[in-house]
Amino acid sequence: MGNLLYYLFLIFYHLGIRIAALWNPKARLWVKGRKEFPSIVPHQNKTIWMHCASLGEFEQGRPLLEKIKHVYPKTKIVLTFFSPSGYEVMKNYQGADHIFYLPMDSRRNALKMIDTIRPSLVLWVKYEFWYYYLTELKKNNIPVLMVSGLFMERQPFFKWYGGIWKKMLKSFTYFFVQNKSSQELLKTLGISNNVSICGDTRFDRVIEIAEKFEPLPLIEKFCGNSKVIVAGSTWEEDEEEWTHYVKTHPEIKFIFAPHEIDSENMKDVKKEFPGSVFYSELNEIQTTNEQQRTTHFLIIDNIGMLSKLYRYADITFVGGGFGDDGIHNVLEAAVYGKPVIHGPEYERFAEAVELVDSGAGICITNALELEKTLNELWQDQTLLKTKSEMARQYVYSKAGATKKIMDYIQEKRLLTN
């Protein structure tokens, strides 16, 4: 029964996304990216296949991938994505030999993919489970490691109808999970001897980014000696909470990096914050002293700068917390020793919960709470400094997941002839 439902799910998902592609740009990229099956020339050395659902999962797997490439430079790296938001951003990433969309799950595609890649080791990051791929890997005795796994009771593995999902879990050689609750949930399914808590590799990634920080001259000039607030990955619901505060505090420099940077959304954001400028206009504006003096709201209209932007903030805001999907990556801000403010939808994200518990994260539910929080931080510099240091200490205390996984790979000689 479970297999039939899964098969029907694949059919309807594929059909649905092809229909959506008629008007949705992301769906169109999803379809276009899978028109041709990837072709790979056979490689005499070990091949590692890392699969990531999207960009966030790639950032989790990246520290491990780059560590492996450093230790085993002759290995071939194959990187696959399911979502356009991952592939389109990272398709030119130099750390992998081959990057492409994962073909839709099917027995035929799984057999063809494994025969094409011939992986020695597969790294499956955090989540997104595909039955035919995983079970065929197991049949071929190819080791599959779960990287930064996170499990919750609401997932189908732990439901009465989750038989096929349990089979997917049985395909993994080893689980490196983020927390004890994930370990305990797997134990209820009889999975215990091949599970260990290693934390989240994202901590290693954000620490690496922060410690390799390179200045952004245009941003430095924009900020000057002003107080600075950086808001990252914002949605319309987040931006609505800021309109009054921005309007009434021209002495503060605001840098907003919206999650969606398509032209229509960029126009909407600029309209919502009168007098704002795009980053792409900044160089020209900074040559005009009067315009530079009156500009205090900057909109980032590119992808890739956000993890550096937080370095320039006194206080940060991370978007997504006013939407159903929840907040985005709070670690990118916290690693620089910055207090992190966000909306109420954060309890499904362990790092956000822990950051709030530590005192460095601050949840607000409306614009009035936002203003109250900001006023308290500006007026009490000791409080601001304390929360900033709490944020930095929290992130650094969680480092080391990448090393634990690498130790396992080396101990089991998974990449040694």
- For the chain, the domains span 20-199+400-411, 212-397
Sheet holding 174-177, edge to edge: 98-101, 76-81, 47-52, 121-125, 144-149, 174-177, 195-197
Neighbours of 43 (CB within 10 A): 16
pLDDT (0 to 100) of residue 204: 94
Asked if 291 and 303 touch (Cβ cutoff 8 Å), the reply is: no
pLDDT (0 to 100) of residue 359: 93
CATH 3.40.50.11720 for domain 20-199+400-411, yes or no, is: yes
pLDDT (0 to 100) of residue 270: 92
Asked if 123 and 51 touch (Cβ cutoff 8 Å), the reply is: yes
| Whole-number Å distance between alpha carbons of 377 and 76 | 49
pLDDT (0 to 100) of residue 291: 53
pLDDT < 70 regions, the chain = 1-2, 41-43, 286-294, 417
Instruction: Specify the amino acid at residue 205.
Output: R
pLDDT (tens digit per residue) in 287-308:
655 555 568 999 999 888 999 9
The pTM score is 0.86
Neighbours of 45 (CB within 10 A): 12
Closest alpha carbon to 318 in 302, 303, 301, 338: 338
pLDDT (0 to 100) of residue 287: 60
HEC string for the chain: CHHHHHHHHHHHHHHHHHHHCCCCHHHHHHHHCCCCCCCCCCCCCCEEEEEECCHHHHHHHHHHHHHHHHHCCCCEEEEEECCHHHHHHHCCCCCCCEEEECCCCCHHHHHHHHHHHCCCEEEEECCCCCHHHHHHHHHCCCCEEEEEECCCCCCHHHCCCCHHHHHHHCCCCEEEECCHHHHHHHHCCCCCCCEEECCCHHHHHHHHHHHCCCCCHHHHHHHCCCEEEEEEEECHHHHHCCHHHHHHCCCEEEEEEECCCCHHHHHHHHHHCCCCEEHHHHHHHCCCHHHHHHCCEEECCCCCCHHHHHHHCCEEEECCCCCCCCCCCCHHHHCCCCCEEECCCCCCCHHHHHHHHHCCEEECCCHHHHHHHHHHHHHCHHHHHHHHHHHHHHHHHCCCHHHHHHHHHHHCCCCCC
Q: What pairing do the DSSP bridges indicate for beta strands 144-149 and 174-177? A: parallel
CA angle 261–264–268, rounded 5-degree value: 90
Which architecture, in CATH terms, is 212-397?
A: 3-Layer(aba) Sandwich (3.40)
Asked if 371 and 313 touch (Cβ cutoff 8 Å), the reply is: no
Asked if 17 and 34 touch (Cβ cutoff 8 Å), the reply is: no
Residue with tokens 């992190």: 340
pLDDT (0 to 100) of residue 9: 85
**Does 212-397 match 20-199+400-411 at the fold level?**
yes
